[in-house]
Amino acid sequence: KWSKGKVKDKANNAVILDKPTYDKLMKEVPTYKLISPSVLVDRLRVSGSLARLAIRELAKQGLIVPVSTHGAQLIYTRATGVEEEKKPKKEAAAATAAAADNGEWGQ
DSSP secondary structure letters along 19-73: HHHHHHHHHHGGG-SSB-HHHHHHHH-B-HHHHHHHHHHHHHTTSEEEEEE-SS-
Better-scored residue on pLDDT, 2 or 88: 2
CATH architecture of 19-101: Orthogonal Bundle (1.10)
Residue ranges per structural domain of the chain: 19-101
Burial label for 47, CB within 10 Å (0-12, 13-18, 19+), is middle
Write down the pTM of the prediction.
0.65
Residue 72: the pLDDT is 82
What DSSP state is assigned to residue 78? E
Summarised one tens digit per residue, pLDDT across range 11-30 is 888 899 899 999 999 999 99
Q: How far apart (Å, rounded) are the C-alpha atoms in residues 100 and 98?
A: 5
**What value does the mean pLDDT of the chain take?**
79
